[in-house]
Structure 1
């Protein structure tokens, strides 16, 4: 059984830590383990127990060339537009408005009591995206770094190399490692953007891959699990994110100035914490005032449908369009709150949904997964054979790679 809750329903207060399973004995495996120990020491178990979906998407070289755009500028343009519409997408896909009371203790967000065990924000869409969820107050959301790859890489370099006072008490001593380093982020993976430019997947670090070879794909990182889907994300959800990214790619994408960056940040906060019924600020021109999020959602869905018509794929996406029109009237987050009230608790609701979801994989898919497992074991054994230095020396070299 897969548990479909984005935010855990209970936190064991008697247990100091959630166990982190070992990754293996190779240097890369030990690094992966240390990174997660560092996350736990920096942010605590509550934040690290939050679940979500990462959605990767790329475009062929031919398409980018036909559009007459530089590859890096093309992908960064998508990132900028995505951030502008992401608050609207939260209304349509967010499904974590409730959490168990144990999750709230010591967190920087005032919530209301829903029942004996659960707390919520009545109009929230995604507490995961809010200040209660996967969020670091040490990372300033510098959306202007999406204006150029050098700016984005500069932020990563700054965050990795500049010591952060909040993390200075966590040991980086080679004889007592509790984190990789004491920077604002330990590695590129700790940069908590809602969308991230990514380089090719190689044995090189993402910073180096991006610097040398540019952006190869985008990673959307702030998608809640859909508890009404048998695998946490439905085919219709995937079609929506796909169409949304294409719309972002084909729309004009001016650079984000400081004023607009602040508006985007505020819109994301509003949408995550009260997106069932709130107003968003016009991100291009704040003088135009504020607009009801349901009206903006209706317009976004209409724009996606027009795009489908222009591309001649309206039949393929028709079911998705109808579903998201219904979601605008009755968001997933509203539906979940109603179900929790009926079932008298978040844990019981999500458990019931999880028990009733049956997902049977086709035999060829099972074989594909088994093949990947075997390949992973082979690569792991190879990494053990190729490790020529001990882990302490490995960490020293790793820290020197980005300077």
Structure 2
């Protein structure tokens, strides 16, 4: 905490949304933007993905997202379209409403990959939209922790340790930011209509959301070992590519997210569990991103975690359970989930006690947790 470099790093946001027409139906017009590094598509043609440049703070990242958002809204306004600012999709007449992103030319392989995903998962799953938060520590800070000769190998092992901790605690930011309990009945059945308040606070993070048909078990002895454990799933056909590793947390290489690019080492860690927040113009509360940064910092200072296959399976189960609307009976390590969250937030507040801004962010999250506790016991004192 005394190291001023500890708070520095590289930040980025990816935001997925859908385009809808004046009737709030999925737009059937072609993607209105030339794909760039900052404005593109993900799975379908009527989806827009905004990708900020690498920034030096959460606030700088939010400012860039705001500029990209304004560009998109101004363009869509001219054609009578708007952005659908919910993680759950609007009414779907049929899967014909969901055209696969029409990547062409040198990007044609992207379309073929998405057609493979369509066959394996169906199109509806691919409409869920959210926020991905990307972060890496300042290398100057990491150099202060390591004095040996092979910094690159040590840095990779640092991110592997961090990945294990963040994966095991991925349920916590989900618990604090889930924002999609209501969905359209057409998500379940063609032609059906009407709002449904289901049993999930976040459908996309729940058991019916973005997951592989199995829990990928990864290895962490070294970066090479980690990469090889992913490649084995690709080689045996369980995954089409590393991009199909549907877990709430990812390690990313520099450049394109291709497994071979890890030869250059780990670039950053990606947290993928944030719902679009419909109460925020940009779909995300900056305080929640600041908290995600603090959580990463906090977990980076915890002891190494023995992330056994059993714990990897449990981490997925914990994450899915945290997406339930009713948390009665949900536990983490045998402790009721809301109490466990409170314990971690208390520990984080103590860890950051000398930093007023950090304490303020943690208390902001504590207030949200207090509301969930009050709702559970029906008493607010």
Shorter-chain TM-score above 0.5: yes
- Write out per-residue CA displacement over residues 178-203 of structure 1, whole angstroms, 9 at most, x where no aligned residue: xxxxx22222211112111111115x
The 3-state SS of whatever aligns with 2:271 is strand
Checking the alignment, whether the CA contact within 8 Å between 2:332 and 2:340 is kept in structure 1 is: no
Give, in whole Å, the separation in 2 of the partners of 1:198 and 1:88. 21
Aligned to 1:141: 216
**Paired residues for 1:2-401 under 5 Å:** 2-13=83-94, 15-16=95-96, 18-26=98-106, 29-68=107-146, 70-105=154-189, 117-122=194-199, 124-137=200-213, 139-142=214-217, 144-162=218-236, 183-201=237-255, 206-210=258-262, 212-274=263-325, 276-282=327-333, 290-309=334-353, 312-314=354-356, 316-331=357-372
CA RMSD of aligned residues (A): 2.5
Comparing 260-269 with 4-13, greater Cα deviation is found at 260-269
The list of structure 1 runs, each at least 4 consecutive aligned residues, that deviate by more than 6 angstroms after superposition, is: none
- How many corresponding residue pairs? 286
Checking the alignment, whether the CA contact within 8 Å between 1:197 and 1:219 is kept in structure 2 is: yes
Residue 299 of structure 1, CA deviation: 1.6
Greater Cα radius of gyration, structure 1 or 2: 1
Give, in whole Å, the separation in 2 of the partners of 1:5 and 1:49. 11
Taking a change above 3 Å as real, the CA distance of residues 90 and 31 of structure 1, as seen in their structure-2 partners, is: same
TM-score normalized with structure 1 length: 0.65
Q: Which has the higher helix share?
A: 1
The 3-state SS of whatever aligns with 1:16 is helix
Give, in whole Å, the separation in 2 of the partners of 1:264 and 1:125. 18
Give, in whole Å, the separation in 2 of the partners of 1:21 and 1:281. 39
The 3-state SS of whatever aligns with 2:281 is coil
- Write out per-residue CA displacement over residues 152-208 of structure 1, whole angstroms, 9 at most, x where no aligned residue: 21232122221xxxxxxxxxxxxxxxxxxxx22222211112111111115xx6211
- Write out per-residue CA displacement over residues 343-395 of structure 1, whole angstroms, 9 at most, x where no aligned residue: xxxxxxxxxxxxxxxxxxxxxxxxxxxxxxxxxxxxxxxxxxxxxxxxxxxxx
- Write out per-residue CA displacement over residues 86-113 of structure 1, whole angstroms, 9 at most, x where no aligned residue: 222221111222322221349xxxxxxx
Q: Which has the higher strand share?
A: 2
Taking a change above 3 Å as real, the CA distance of residues 188 and 235 of structure 1, as seen in their structure-2 partners, is: same
Residue 61 of structure 1, CA deviation: 1.9
Give, in whole Å, the separation in 2 of the partners of 1:230 and 1:127. 21
- Write out per-residue CA displacement over residues 267-319 of structure 1, whole angstroms, 9 at most, x where no aligned residue: 2222123564443231xxxxxxx11111111122222222322xx432x2344
The 3-state SS of whatever aligns with 2:205 is coil
Taking a change above 3 Å as real, the CA distance of residues 118 and 135 of structure 1, as seen in their structure-2 partners, is: farther
The 3-state SS of whatever aligns with 1:42 is helix
Taking a change above 3 Å as real, the CA distance of residues 266 and 275 of structure 1, as seen in their structure-2 partners, is: farther
Unaligned runs of 5+ in 1: 107-114, 163-182, 283-289, 335-403
